[in-house]
Copies of this chain bind each other. A is one copy, B any other.
């Protein structure tokens, strides 16, 4: 289990087309775990940037018509080069345009991992079947009670897209067609910091590049990394400002011993 050591040794070069809200944290989190981030979202520039990178992360949080073109063209280029590609469908289900863009992304780009909160993933399941909107019938939290139901939905989405599906929240759930893991790391207070999800997508990309043998485990390890960093930071944080900075500190100090000692992972059949 040398997930982090492998990242720090291979130093994956990750190209992000991500929202401008949390982009600085995304870059610093990637650096803290040992990866190297590059951000560009101009269609004349972004696809070519893939030529020198190992991975692409697409997050349409603050999408616009120009950056959407860059997302699709960069995604196609990354696929052609067999690079790791991660989708963070930020805000899926919130507006028709956003749903349309995410639908286009899934139709045009093959993703190794799709990571979102439960509402986004549920919206995505619908978006990809072209019905749009969020299914309001299913509870919006992953709980011990609805776990099997959510795993089933995620497995279907994984089969349809070929991606590992990571659903982050109080209980994190990582699913593909071969199995599922839950992780119970992290702390409630992390919800009061913007960007923990966006940072997670970068850690996932880094982990997938450096640990290609088992995608499901590589994604799970990345989800545990941010969770543990949050737990450690919470021990001394004086509020959400220092929790936020401590998260980066703890990512920069994280290693595989801490990961193995702290990970609260459970495996489920699918």
- Complex CA–CA separation, A199 to B31 (angstroms): 17
Known: A239-B32, A253-B239. A44 touches B97 (CB 8 A): yes
Q: In the complex the two chains form, is B24's CB within 8 Å of A194's CB?
A: yes
Report the minimal beta-carbon distance from A206 to chain B, rounded to whole angstroms. 14
Instruction: Give 1 or 0 for each of A105-131: 1 = CB within 8 Å of chain B CB.
Output: 000000000000000000000000000
Q: In the complex the two chains form, is A27's CB within 8 Å of B239's CB?
A: no
Residues of B with C-beta under 8 A to A172:
none
Report the minimal beta-carbon distance from A24 to chain B, rounded to whole angstroms. 6
- Complex CA–CA separation, A253 to B237 (angstroms): 12
Which chain B residue lies CB-closest to A70?
B64
Which of B25, B64, B94, B96 lies in contact with A24, CB distance below 8 A?
Answer: B25
Task: Count chain B CB atoms within 10 A of each CB in A40, A41, A247, A249 and give the residue with the most.
Answer: A40
Q: How many copies does the complex hold?
A: 3
Residues of B with C-beta under 8 A to A257:
none
Q: In the complex the two chains form, is B63's CB within 8 Å of A45's CB?
A: yes
Q: In the complex the two chains form, is A19's CB within 8 Å of B45's CB?
A: no
Which chain B residue lies CB-closest to A26?
B21
Residues of B with C-beta under 8 A to A95:
40, 45, 48-49, 51
Task: Count chain B CB atoms within 10 A of each CB in A31, A41, A245 and give the residue with the most.
Answer: A245
Which of B20, B65, B245, B248 lies in contact with A23, CB distance below 8 A?
Answer: B20
Q: Identify 7 residue pairs between A and B in the complex whose beta-carbon atoms are under 8 Å apart, listed by A's number.
A: A31-B193, A32-B241, A40-B61, A45-B97, A48-B97, A238-B253, A239-B251
